[in-house]
Every structure is written in structure tokens, then in C-alpha cells.
Amino acid sequence: MKRVLVLARTFGKYSNEPLKLLQDNGFEVERRENVDADGLKGFDAVIVGVQKITREMMQNSSVKIIAKHGVGVDNIDLEAATELGIPVTVTPNANAVSVAELTIGFIFALSKKLIDLHNTLYQKRQFVSSVGLELHGKTLGVVGFGSIGKEVAKRALCLGMRVLVYDPYVEESVLRELGFEKVELDQLLRQSDFVSLHVPLNESTRHLIDREKLSLMKKTAYLINTARGGVVDEEAIIEALKNGQIAGAALDVFNAEPLPADSPFFDCPNVIMTPHVGAHTYEAILRMNMIAAESIVDFFSG
Ligand code: NAD
């Protein structure tokens, strides 16, 4: 009997369907929270969320397939997997709508100052002087026009926003047809009222938004990051938030997760933060569960 190790915390949590799919196809499933260098030993397949999968772990095991529960594979040593002939699958599109909706939620929360107003009222202080913004007519810059970026851009257009896109791998004509403008990154940063990041974390995107890039943004603009913490230089963002270089930020992802209790972000009143929950909806979780389980079943059934 083939054995599947489940490291993704939400796999099978809200529905038995994905577990049943594996079991009906003759797989034995074991769930663990964390594993060490020998943790993959004795398993044929692994379903992984954000846990690091290192070369050593792969070498010490006979794992034949790694199914990523999500799309960001920066926690998996892909070079080692390729060298060892271990395919790594992802769950494309399964969470794009959920992450896009969180992004739009962030845009509303920032522009209407929802968190501030809620907190003020919650402290029984009724009088608030803060004034919000209309989104209609404002400019959104989408960095990375893949599954998530596209869903964000479409929704922003419906809100009456102008949408600029920076993605060197997408044709200008494709964007123009959809009603978006293809621009270079610097132009996007200079012109946008909201900048939203949707690129994978890799060597070309690490610290894509650094001190210099932040200095191009309008002082009234907001930065939204639901991609990966490493896409931005966190020190530079904290500086920009504190010295008013940008108006604020909304962050779902961080370099260190969970966010350490002494993180300087806690001293920035103009930041909204969520603990990496972009894909945490019942719908997205079930889709990711099923695609990950199906990729294992398909792999072993040839
Ligand atoms: P995707 O692969 O569909 O799209 C990524 C896009 O980025 C592609 O269009 C690609 O051309 C573009 N790109 C790559 N390098 C670039 C660069 N240097 N500059 C500009 N564009 C570049 O991926 P997706 O499904 O849209 O997801 C994007 C990222 O969002 C994932 O890699 C993941 O890290 C993150 N994510 C976060 C959550 C969350 O819970 N917050 C959930 C899902 C995904």
C-alpha cells in the first residue's frame, strides 16, 4: 500500500472528500504537523503547505511526488527535486479568487480606514475625524498578471479604477483588450494610488520592492502584499511607513511567519495585517485539497 504524508494543515479539515479520494484509491494517509530531516522516510508522496522541504529530506526518503497545497513553491528545494527526479505539482487557480477578494478587501479597508474606525468606535469613542477615499477614478498598479493578478485587475475595473500592469511575460495586446495598460515597474509605482503585488518569490523577484522603488511611490499611495514577504524589503517598508514615504500598507505575508511578537510592523499604525490567510476560504481549501489529492492519484495510476 502506498503511503501519503500530509503536512498541509487544512488538508481534509473541512471535508472528508479529499481523504476519501486517496483512501478509495488504495493510499494510506498519515498527518503530521512538522517533520525533521528524516521525516519523509517511509512515504511515497507528500502533500505540503508552507513547511520547508529540503534536499536532505528528499534524499533521506523514497518520496516519488510532492504535491504543493497552493502555488507558491518557494518552500521547496526545486533544484534538488529536479535533480532527484521528483515531480512537484501545484494547485493552480484553486485560490486565485480568494486571494483576489482579500486584496480588494484590503483596498476597501485602506481607502475607507475601516480598521481604524472600527477600533475607535469599539473603544466607545464616537467622534472620528478621519476621511476616506473613493476608489472610482483611482489607479491600481498590479505587479504580476497571473491567476491572482488577473482576478484583482478585473475586479478593480468594475470599481471604476484605472488599472496599470507590470508583467514582462504578458503581451501588451492581451492587456489592452482586457482594458488594462501595460507599463514598466517604475511608471506603475509613480502613477498608482494602490500597488498590489502578485509575483512568485524567486531570485528575480526577491526585494523587487526595495528602498529605491518605494521612493518612487506617491506619498498618498498604499502598498498591498499578498504574494510573499520576500518580494519586498521589509526594513525599507517599515521605514517608508514610519517616515510617511507612503500612506500605508496591507500585508498578508511576511519574511518570518508567524510574525514575531517584536516585529516593528506592530509599531506602524498605518499598516493592516493578516496572518497569511489569502487562501483560507472553504471554497479555496476544498479546491486545493482535491487538486493535490488528484495529482497523487493520477501520478501513481500513470
Ligand atoms: P501565477 O504563476 O499564476 O502568476 C504569477 C505572475 O507573475 C505571472 O504572470 C508571471 O509572468 C509574473 N511574474 C513572474 N516574475 C515576474 C517579475 N519579475 N515581474 C513581474 N511579473 C512577474 O501565480 P498566482 O497564482 O497569481 O500567485 C502569485 C503568487 O501569490 C504565488 O507565487 C504565491 O507566492 C502568492 N500566493 C499567496 C497566497 C496567500 O495566501 N497570500 C495564496 C496563493 C498565492
Paired strand residues for 164:
141, 181
Unique residue bearing C-alpha cell 531570485: 203
Q: Is the CB of 19 under 6 A from ligand 1?
A: no
Q: What is the pLDDT of residue 130?
A: 81
pLDDT of 11 > 80? The answer is: yes
C-alpha span between 129 and 122 (Å, rounded): 15
Cell numbers for 18, please give them.
479529499
Residue identifier of the C-alpha nearest atom 2 of ligand 1? 146
Residue 263, burial from CB neighbour count under 10 angstroms (0-12, 13-18, 19+): middle
- CA of 20 from ligand 1 middle (Å) equals 31
- CA of 125 from ligand 1 middle (Å) equals 41
Q: Which atom of ligand 1 is nearest to the CA of 228?
A: 34
Q: Is the CB of 271 under 6 A from ligand 1?
A: no
Q: Is the CB of 217 under 6 A from ligand 1?
A: no
Neighbours of 169 (CB within 10 A): 7
3-state DSSP call for residue 166? strand
Confidence of residue 274 (pLDDT cuts 50, 70, 90): very high
Choice between 252 and 123, residue whose per-residue pLDDT is larger: 252
Stretch 239-256: mean pLDDT, rounded? Answer: 98
Handedness of CA 259, 197, 236, 161 (dihedral sign): negative
Q: Which of 198, 228, 234, 287 is catalytic?
A: 228
Residue identifier of the C-alpha nearest atom 36 of ligand 1? 227
Q: What is the pLDDT of residue 125?
A: 79
Confidence of residue 72 (pLDDT cuts 50, 70, 90): very high
Q: Which helix (H) or strand (E) holds 5?
A: strand 2-6
Q: What is the pLDDT of residue 126?
A: 72
Residue identifier of the C-alpha nearest atom 23 of ligand 1? 146
Q: Is the CB of 252 under 6 A from ligand 1?
A: yes
Paired strand residues for 202:
none
In Å, how far from its chain's centre is CA 119? 26
What are the distances in angstroms from CA 182 to CA 81, 166, 173, 174, 189?
Answer: 35, 6, 9, 9, 13
3-state DSSP call for residue 142? strand
Confidence of residue 281 (pLDDT cuts 50, 70, 90): very high
- CA of 282 from ligand 1 middle (Å) equals 21
Cis amide linkage into residue 258, ω under 30° from 0: yes
Stretch 200-229: mean pLDDT, rounded? Answer: 98
Q: What is the pLDDT of residue 270?
A: 96
Q: What is the pLDDT of residue 129?
A: 73
Residue identifier of the C-alpha nearest atom 33 of ligand 1? 72
Interface ipTM > 0.95: yes
Half-sphere exposure of 148 (CA within 13 A, CB side): 30
Told to judge if 162 belongs to the known catalytic residues of this protein, a careful annotator would answer no
Q: Which helix (H) or strand (E) holds 197?
A: strand 194-197
Choice between 127 and 177, residue whose per-residue pLDDT is larger: 177
Told to judge if 228 belongs to the known catalytic residues of this protein, a careful annotator would answer yes
3-state DSSP call for residue 49? coil
Q: Is the CB of 47 under 6 A from ligand 1?
A: no
Half-sphere exposure of 285 (CA within 13 A, CB side): 15
Q: Is the CB of 223 under 6 A from ligand 1?
A: no
Q: Which of 69, 155, 198, 276 is catalytic?
A: 276
Stretch 187-197: mean pLDDT, rounded? Answer: 99
pLDDT of 159 > 90? The answer is: yes
- Specify whether the backbone of 276 is left (phi greater than 0), alpha (psi in -120 to 50) or beta: left
What predicted TM-score, i.e. pTM, was given to this entire model? 0.94
Instruction: Answer yes or no: are the C-beta atoms of 111 and 156 closer than 8 Å.
Output: no
C-alpha span between 294 and 50 (Å, rounded): 20
C-alpha span between 105 and 133 (Å, rounded): 14
> In the predicted model, what is the mean pLDDT of the chain?
97
- CA of 145 from ligand 1 middle (Å) equals 8
What tens digit of pLDDT does each residue of 76-86 get? 999 999 999 99
pLDDT of 127 > 80? The answer is: no
Told to judge if 276 belongs to the known catalytic residues of this protein, a careful annotator would answer yes
